[in-house]
Chains A and B, each alone.
Chain A
Amino acid sequence: MDVYLPRTLPEALELKARHPEAMPIAGGTDVMVDINFDRHRPTALIDLTRIPELAVWRREDGHIFLGAGVTYTRIMQELPGLRAWFQAARTVGSPQIRNRATVGGNLGTASPAGDALPVIAAHDGEVIMISARGERSLAWHEFLVGVKRNALHPDELIAGVRWRTVRGPGSFSKIGTRNAMVISMAGLCLLLDEEARAVRVALGSVAPTIVRAAEAEAFAAAEIARAGAWDDPKATLSEGTLAEFGERVTGAAKPIDDIRGTARYRRHACVVLGRRALAWALADRRG
């Protein structure tokens, strides 16, 4: 096995063009587990941890760009104002995993249980890919094409994700077996978009890829409008409406039974996560 240690992005892209079979490795928290378990034997690796161009985030004309190489620890330290991102980062593994694991690795693995992915989906994020041929971008749902499958070409790297800044409260919450013990059974990101007067809900771990609960989103936005709560944050929704929202969120899930939990439990988890997330968001607006 060969390991390449490029120091700049152009160098990395040239290596990837020359060795399309070489596997990129960032934090290694997915790659190494597969190698140590002998599930995968790459012939070559390209280490991305020394590439400064991937390890940056920036605000650009109403958008945020988050580089593929930014770790969850850095998201917590440098972007605490992005509530949902902060909360998702905090739930990933343990400090030692968060010190290494990156958002790019979460996208590369494209597991339905990747905790950054519902957050990207709720933000309507686009994934920026880059190769020696140039740059292209795809909406998150075009990039995540199936269970552990993404739309990356063999000569491309993930540069990062980009989304339009959303004004309004939001959260990420998940249900799993134990703190720090890997994979979630259900995860949910909810955002209130005050400008568009829209509610956005994305679910992880309950379908082959990340899903948006479009029908529940429309229901919640209409109910908030009916209660007059877009204009008056003091106005509330009834318990019954919140519960119905939870039921509708579950409507978007297509869960399976697996070793981590049953489909029935996952459906129930979506009801609870959805109802709570909407209640929190409305409470945040009341201040």
Chain B
Amino acid sequence: MDVTLSVNGVSRTASVEPRITLADVLRDELGLTGTHVGCEHGVCGACTVLLDGRSVRSCLLFAVQAAGQEVTTVEGLAAADGTLHPLQKAFHDAHGLQCGFCTPGFLMAARELLDENPSPTESEVRTWLSGNLCRCTGYQNIVDAVLLAAERMRGAP
């Protein structure tokens, strides 16, 4: 079955079995391995991508269900010339990652939060990210990074 999706603004077509998840198509068919797969049952958040601007678990979605929709992955965050997105820069500056396995999921979840609420409180950030698991950082630096990115993005012209 042929599926056409818009991925990070580019129309991509893949020939897939109906029972293949969006996460697997992104990684195996389209070579976008930035989307990580941890638990495959919706709990860890590592596979988070945006579907028409809303964060979803790509392990809980068949690729064919996303046909014709707009998918944004972590590869779509940085600018075309490689300039990091303010969230990526802030994760770097505030030490929001250690092993980095969870990072793509946190970045995409945080991106939706800041799209909707440019000035979240610390507690709003924590609540929003409660569905993403990290085994390294203890979360504090991740929360700090999101707050730092929000501050920089508000300051931007």
Q: Does A259 contact B (CB under 8 A)?
A: no
Q: Which size class do B's interface residues fall under?
A: 20 to 34
Q: Are A96 and B19 touching (Cβ within 8 A)?
A: no
Q: Does B35 contact A (CB under 8 A)?
A: no
Which residues of B have CB within 8 Å of A28? 60-62, 65
Binds A, one of B7-15, B81-89, B128-136, B148-156: B128-136
How close is B43's CB to chain A, nearest CB, in angstroms? 7
Q: Does B64 contact A (CB under 8 A)?
A: yes
* CB-based nearest A residue for B19: A1
Q: Are B19 and A35 touching (Cβ within 8 A)?
A: yes
Q: Identify A33's interface contact among B18, B60, B64, CB under 8 A.
A: B60
A95/B41 contact (C-beta < 8 A), A3-B62, A45-B18 known: no
In the complex the two chains form, what is the Cα distance from A180 to B21 in whole Å?
22
How close is B87's CB to chain A, nearest CB, in angstroms? 16
Q: Are A96 and B57 touching (Cβ within 8 A)?
A: yes
Which residues of A have CB within 8 Å of B65? 3, 5, 25, 28, 47, 49
Q: Are A94 and B130 touching (Cβ within 8 A)?
A: yes
Q: Identify B54's interface contact among A35, A73, A93, CB under 8 A.
A: A73
| A-B contact number at CB 8 A | 81
* CB-based nearest B residue for A3: B18
Q: Are B131 and A100 touching (Cβ within 8 A)?
A: no
A97/B42 contact (C-beta < 8 A), A1-B18, A32-B21 known: yes
How close is B61's CB to chain A, nearest CB, in angstroms? 6
* CB-based nearest B residue for A37: B41
Q: Are A95 and B1 touching (Cβ within 8 A)?
A: no
Q: Does B59 contact A (CB under 8 A)?
A: yes
Chain B contacts to A: CB under 8 angstroms? 1, 17-19, 21, 40-43, 45, 48, 54-57, 59-62, 64-65, 67, 109, 112-113, 127-128, 130-132
Chain A contacts to B: CB under 8 angstroms? 1-3, 5, 25, 27-29, 32-33, 35-37, 45, 47, 49, 73, 93-97, 99-100, 179-182
Q: List 18 A-B contacts (CB under 8 A).
A: A1-B18, A3-B64, A5-B67, A25-B65, A33-B60, A35-B19, A36-B59, A36-B60, A47-B64, A73-B54, A94-B132, A95-B55, A96-B45, A96-B56, A99-B54, A100-B56, A100-B61, A179-B130
Q: A32-B60, A181-B43 are in contact. List 9 more A-B contacts (CB 8 A).
A: A3-B62, A28-B65, A29-B57, A33-B42, A35-B19, A93-B131, A95-B131, A96-B56, A100-B57
